[in-house]
Structure 1
Amino acid sequence: EAEDMHLKAIEIKERLFGSEDYEVALSVGHLASLYSYDMQKFAEAEKLYLRSIAI
C-alpha cells in the first residue's frame, strides 16, 4: 500500500512539475527509503537513490 502511494505521488508530481523537479526528487528518495529499509529491495533502492541525486 505504501509503495503504491509513493508511485502515485511520483506520477502526479512528474505530470505537474516535470520529471526533473525537486519535488519529484524528494518523492523518489522517499520511495527508495521504503525499498531499502522496509522492503529490502536494495537494487531497486539504489537506482532510485541515484535518480533522486541526479535530479
Structure 2
Amino acid sequence: MNTTTSTRPRTTGVGRLVRRLEIERRRWSRNDYPVVPTEQAWRAGVAEGLRLAQLAIRKGV
C-alpha cells in the first residue's frame, strides 16, 4: 500500500471539463433563431447553471 500523501488535490481532467462546460454554455446562450420567451428563459437558466458549475469546479467545491 502506498502511504505517501499528496499535498495537491487531483485535478486530472478538470481543465478539460471546464472547457467543455464553456463550450456548452456558449451553445445554450446562442440565439440563432427566434424563440418563444419561455424557451429563451429556460436556455438562460441552463447557461447560468453551466456557469455556476464551472465556478464550483474551479474552486474545488
With the shorter chain as reference, the TM-score category is 0.5 to 0.7
TM-score normalised by the chain length of structure 2: 0.50
**Alignment identity in percent?**
22
Larger Rg: 2
Name the TM-score, length of structure 1 as normaliser. 0.54
Q: Compare the two structures and name the one with the higher helix fraction.
A: 1
- Residue ranges of structure 1 left out of the alignment (5+ in a row): 1-15
User: Gapped runs of 5+ residues in structure 2?
Assistant: 1-11, 33-39
Cα root mean square deviation, aligned: 2.1
Q: How many residues align?
A: 37
Structure number with higher relative contact order (C-alpha < 8 Å, ≥ 6 residues apart): 2
